[in-house]
Amino acid sequence: MPTRLTQYRLCPRSRSIRLALAEYGIEVALLDENPWEWRKGFLAKNPAGEMPVLEYDNGLTLCGAYSISEFIADEPLPNATVMAQRPPPLFPGNREDRAEVRRLIDWYHGKFDREVTRELLNEKIYQTMRPSGSSAPDPSILRAVRANLRYHLAYTGYLADARRWLAGDDLSFADFAAAAHISTVDYLGEMPWHEYPAVKAWYQKIKSRPSFRALLADRVPGSSPPLAYSDLDF
């Protein structure tokens, strides 16, 4: 069984794995790690210096959202699990459906991360926490990130409008990946919800799931979320 997840509370990859674990009813202890510190003890666990890292009681250590999500999806369910209690598969459907799920995971954990979340976290949190860092975000970077965000939200809205869930009829890890990034952007006060009603309606569905509760209770030093962040009726 997995026992510990090393993570940073606003890291979207960590958040997506926490959602997957919670959906599967897998309880783990959370170890907080500050990504801007590059601690030696953490690099010994994952030389890539990336989060999350999931540790098992048999000594197995899994690094990164890609490796962990595919591993969890591959996990045989306990015999006692009755059909009605089965968690939603992270990669539902047939081979072609799963290819669509993975395309979108790549979209959010790859492109969205590079063009929005990573930059926002760096400008608004990481660089203010570093001893040598400046305290104010660079307005030209924020402007570029906000333009990128609108492009991503328009695409997310297009998907949410056309489908029940982002990758198709069924909830999948693509929804958790997308919701993880959007929840971090929301925490940082950057979500223009009123401009994207389809994104809001989709996010309301996923935000109401019990697996989401722990994320909404998270706070990090140096930043407070807007009031509506943890409100299910935002």
Q: Return d(Cα 234, Cα 230) in angstroms, integer.
A: 8
- Residue number, 154 or 228, with CB nearest to a second copy: 154
In whole angstroms, the minimum distance from the beta carbon of 86 to a second copy comes to: 19
β-pairing verdict for 61-63 and 2-7: unpaired
| Least spacing, CB of residue 21 vs a second copy, in Å | 15
Residue 67 tokens, joined: 């490796």
Contacts with a second copy by CB under 8 A lie at 47-48, 50, 60, 62-64, 66-68, 70-71, 74-75, 95-96, 98-100, 102-103, 105-107, 110-111, 114, 155
Let me know: does 75 contact 23? Beta carbons within 8 Å: no
* Calpha distance 125→41 (Å, rounded): 22
The least CB distance from residue 104 to a second copy, in Å, is 9
Structure tokens at 233: 């009726």
User: Closer CB to a second copy, residue 64 or residue 89?
Assistant: 64
Instruction: Give the C-alpha separation, 225 to 186, whole Å.
Output: 7
74 Cβ partners below 8 Å, 6+ apart? none
Q: Which is nearer to a second copy, 66 or 234 (CB)?
A: 66
Minimum CB–partner distance for residue 47 and a second copy (Å): 6
Q: Which is nearer to a second copy, 70 or 226 (CB)?
A: 70
